[in-house]
Amino acid sequence: MAAWAASNSLVSMRKYTFGEILELPDRFRRSFINSLHGLRPALLLGSRSADGHENLAIFSQILHIGANPPLTGVLFRPDTVERHSLQNIRETGFFTLNNVTEEMAEAAHQTSARYPRAQSEFKAVQLKAQYKDDFTAPFVESSTIQIGLKLQSEMPIDANGTILVIGKIEVIYLPENAQSEDGLVRHHIAGSLAAAGLDMYFSPQPLARFSYAKPDLPLKNIEY
């Protein structure tokens, strides 16, 4: 790995132009461009239809929109299995996001199969739904980080028909020692996996945490 970084001129670099990308086989292009930018959060979205059918689906297209108020963005492709989740969110206004740990990886990936709407992915993949306090959408019991959200708005993305759903964070549950004294969530303690593309999963391997950067001041390593 050090060799790459030291000089990428030492390795054989491949170039793809826009035109070449368009001419790639569909599956190759989908896997390529979907995984291109790097690691993303692997999260399970829990929801329930108005008539009580539970749904669980894995998502990695997540944006931190803002902290005050706390807002989360989730990108939906309405033509896939994600449509059940979106229907439920529209019907009830509530959903949950739950982290995926190593023990849950296979079950979490299995939620991407096209189950009928009446069939609960919780049951199909054997992840237990958990209802807490008055929150009406199901959490994933084995997740160490659980977030309850309320639909705030939807933004259609004209370029390709995807939809950015923005949720207001109503409640967060996490282990006390999975948060540093200054607020940072310690995903290496919580065991939160990351995803790349449609099918690849990574464990969180902490490298460094740096102090707030200022011009002409050296960075310090700070505790995580």
Tell which positions 46-85 bind a copy of itself, by CB under 8 A.
61-73, 75
Judge whether 66 and 12 are in contact, CB under 8 Å.
Answer: no
Q: Is 118 in the site for a copy of itself (CB under 8 A)?
A: no
Taking the complex as a whole, how short is the minimal distance between the CB of residue 136 and a copy of itself, in angstroms?
15
Among 16, 50, 123, 154, binds a copy of itself (CB under 8 A): 16
Torsions phi, psi for 77 (to 5 deg): -105, 105
In terms of Cβ atoms closer than 10 Å to its own Cβ (0-12, 13-18, 19+), residue 104 is: buried
Among 45, 85, 142, 165, binds a copy of itself (CB under 8 A): 142
Q: Is 45 helix (H, G, I), strand (E, B) or coil?
A: strand
Torsions phi, psi for 164 (to 5 deg): -90, 115
Among 47, 55, 96, 143, binds a copy of itself (CB under 8 A): 143
By beta-carbon proximity to a copy of itself, the closer residue of 92 and 105 is: 105
Residue with tokens 């206004």: 93
Q: How far apart are CA 81 and CA 105, in angstroms?
A: 18
Q: How far apart are CA 28 and CA 26, in angstroms?
A: 6
Interface with a copy of itself: number of residues (CB under 8 A): 131
Taking the complex as a whole, how short is the minimal distance between the CB of residue 124 and a copy of itself, in angstroms?
7
By beta-carbon proximity to a copy of itself, the closer residue of 50 and 57 is: 57
List binders of a copy of itself among 164-203 (CB under 8 A).
164, 166, 168-180, 182-185, 187-194, 196-197, 199-203
List binders of a copy of itself among 97-116 (CB under 8 A).
97, 99, 101-106, 109-115
Q: How far apart are CA 191 and CA 204, in angstroms?
A: 7
Residue with tokens 């237990």: 128
By beta-carbon proximity to a copy of itself, the closer residue of 52 and 217 is: 217
Q: Is 163 in the site for a copy of itself (CB under 8 A)?
A: no
